[in-house]
């Protein structure tokens, strides 16, 4: 039996962050049922609101101020505009923090301390508060005060050194990942961290201060590539689409286009060889994964020669039937139109205040006993300012006064 109580029902999150990493965490918490209040600069808001085109079009077909970038990471939140460099604005944030369970912020190290909105100051008001700071390099160390963006950390953190085609081959050279993967992974680690602190608070009654660094996240995310180096002493290299430890895994050419092949074990390789009519490969010098990794330079041309007379659809169908993972390289529209993606309802629509329905990518989390609600549209700048301030005890005259002074 399912319940209408979502996993984080009753939890309040004060989201002082902008751009992507920490807002991504805020969106995850909103998906899980938390009330997430996003604090933005009056008149401008989150930088990503202007990171377009494309921009959402309103009912009249005109561009709104909502860029696709902003819409991707702020669903399910409320927006209030607050100028935190004013005393009145700081007082509003303190009142919000006094009622919050979690604060997310990604200001430059030391900025919020100047305003009395740092972890020590807000946790003195609310000892149960979980305060999470997300920065490029962390709260300490020689780079602590330096700004950072995903692209920079992909480069500095080693990801680009193992992403892209090998030097000397067409298209060779370091490449960044096609989505801001460090921001996304940082958002995931942020969400995990605050939920862990929330669980600890259930036992101890006390909150915590959490320090998340994008560079730390990227170093941790080097995963097998870092361990390959630590175990062997050999510097990992760019290898195109080929996997460094498991083979065959690469892009292969069929008669009418490319497919990817992901052989994960010796049994799957034997099934591949059976489909191709080349069982001797699985019984001889390529029988084990270690042999295939060592001999991939000789195996790859053999596979390419076997694939060239197949159409993609026929080969994928035969490999699917045999239990060998393979697939086409889909464009974004093809992904969103995939029958499996559509069956899982990974694209949903929500009414937007501009008068249109906006298509949103859904949360991937599925709970049997606490199904998540569909995402609500990302808010307009300051859409909920009056509502939130009234909830804090501000009267209408006070709210208008704050607006006239540029505080909200």
| Active site members | 183
| 311 and 371 part of one domain | no
CATH of the domain at 376: 3.40.50.10540
Task: With respect to residue 99, please indicate whether it lies within any of the assigned structural domains.
Answer: yes
Range of the domain at 272: 249-329
Q: In the prediction, which pLDDT does 170 show?
A: 86
Are 70 and 143 contained in the same domain? yes
Place of tokens 């093809």: 334
Q: Would you say residue 235 lies in a domain? A: no
Mean pLDDT of 275-280: 95
Domain end (from 303, 329, 355): 329
Is the domain of 355 the same as that of 395? yes
336 within some domain: no
Q: Tell me the pLDDT band of 50, cut-offs 50, 70 and 90.
A: very high
pLDDT band at 171 (very low <50, low <70, confident <90, very high): confident
Helix 266-276 vs helix 312-322: crossing angle, to nearest 10: 130
Residue after which a domain boundary falls, among 329, 359, 385: 329
Mean pLDDT, the chain, whole residue set: 96
Rounded Cα gap, residues 15 and 139, in angstroms? 18
Closest CA to 116 of 93, 133, 136, 138: 93
**Are 379 and 315 members of one domain?**
no
* Strand, helix or coil for residue 190: helix
Residues 109 and 254 in one domain: no
Residues 216, 164 share a domain = yes
Task: Give yes or no: residues 361 and 308 share one domain.
Answer: no
Both 305 and 355 in a single domain? no
In this structure, are 28 and 115 located in the same domain? yes
Predicted TM-score of the model (pTM): 0.93
Residue 286 is part of a domain; what is its CATH number? 3.30.1540.10
Same domain, 204 and 85: yes
Q: Is residue 134 part of a domain?
A: yes
Q: Is residue 341 part of a domain?
A: no
Residue 2's pLDDT band (boundaries 50, 70, 90)?
A: low
Query: How many structural domains are present in the chain?
Result: 2
Identify which of 127, 32, 124 has the alpha carbon closest to the alpha carbon of residue 75.
32
CA-based nearest residue to 49, from 35, 67, 76: 67
Residue 4 has pLDDT above 90, yes or no: no
5 assigned to some structural domain: no
Please report, rounded to a whole number, the percentage of residues in the chain having pLDDT higher than 70. Answer: 99
pLDDT in tens, 124-136: 999 999 999 999 9
Task: Give the span between the Cα atoms of 247 and 263, in whole angstroms.
Answer: 6
Query: Where would I find the beta strands (DSSP E) of 269-373?
Result: 326-328, 347-351, 357-361
CA angle 248, 169, 254 (to 5 degrees): 45
Same domain, 116 and 33: yes
Please indicate, yes or no, if residue 6 is contained in any of the structural domains.
no
* Residue 337 maps to a domain: no
Q: End of a domain among 304, 329, 354?
A: 329
48 and 153 inside one domain: yes
Q: What 8-state DSSP symbol labels residue 379?
A: P
Which helix H or strand E contains 18, and what residues bound it? none
What pLDDT score was predicted for residue 253?
A: 94
**Tokens matching residue 56:** 């959402």
């Amino acid at each position: 039996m399912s319940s209408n109580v979502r996993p984080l029902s009753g939890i309040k999150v004060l989201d002082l962050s902008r751009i992507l990493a920490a807002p991504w965490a805020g969106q995850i918490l909103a998906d899980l049922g938390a009330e997430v209040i996003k604090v933005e600069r009056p008149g401008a808001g989150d930088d990503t609101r202007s990171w377009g085109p494309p921009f959402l079009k309103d009912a009249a077909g005109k561009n709104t101020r909502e860029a696709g970038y902003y819409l991707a990471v702020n669903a399910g939140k409320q927006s209030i505009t607050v100028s935190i460099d004013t005393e009145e604005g700081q007082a509003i944030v303190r009142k919000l923090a006094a009622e919050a369970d979690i604060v997310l912020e990604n200001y430059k190290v030391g900025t919020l301390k100047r305003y009395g909105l740092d972890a020590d100051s807000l946790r003195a008001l609310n000892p149960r508060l979980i305060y999470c700071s997300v920065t490029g390099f962390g709260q300490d160390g020689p780079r602590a005060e330096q700004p950072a963006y995903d692209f920079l950390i992909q480069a500095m953190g080693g990801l680009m050194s193992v992403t892209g085609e090998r030097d000397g081959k067409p298209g060779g050279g370091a490449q960044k990942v096609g989505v801001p993967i460090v921001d996304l992974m940082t958002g995931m680690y942020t969400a995990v961290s605050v939920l862990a602190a929330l669980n600890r608070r259930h036992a101890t009654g006390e909150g915590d201060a959490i320090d998340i660094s994008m560079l730390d996240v990227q170093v941790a995310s080097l995963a097998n590539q870092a361990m390959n180096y630590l175990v062997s002493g050999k510097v990992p290299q760019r290898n195109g689409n080929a996997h460094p430890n498991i083979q065959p895994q690469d892009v292969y050419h069929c008669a009418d286009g490319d497919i990817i092949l992901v052989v994960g074990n010796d049994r799957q390789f034997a099934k591949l060889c059976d489909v191709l009519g080349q069982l001797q490969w699985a019984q001889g010098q390529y029988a084990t994964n270690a042999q295939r990794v060592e001999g991939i330079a000789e195996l790859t041309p053999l596979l390419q020669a076997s694939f060239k007379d197949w159409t993609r659809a026929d080969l994928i169908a035969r490999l699917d039937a045999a239990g060998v993972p393979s697939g086409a390289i889909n464009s974004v529209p093809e992904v969103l139109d995939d029958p499996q993606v559509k069956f899982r309802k990974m694209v949903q629509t929500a009414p937007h205040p501009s008068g249109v329905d906006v298509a949103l990518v859904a949360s991937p989390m599925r709970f049997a006993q606490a199904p998540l609600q569909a995402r609500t549209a990302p808010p307009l700048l300051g859409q909920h300012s009056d509502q939130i301030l009234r909830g804090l005890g501000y009267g209408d005259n006070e709210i208008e006064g704050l607006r006239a002074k540029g505080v909200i």
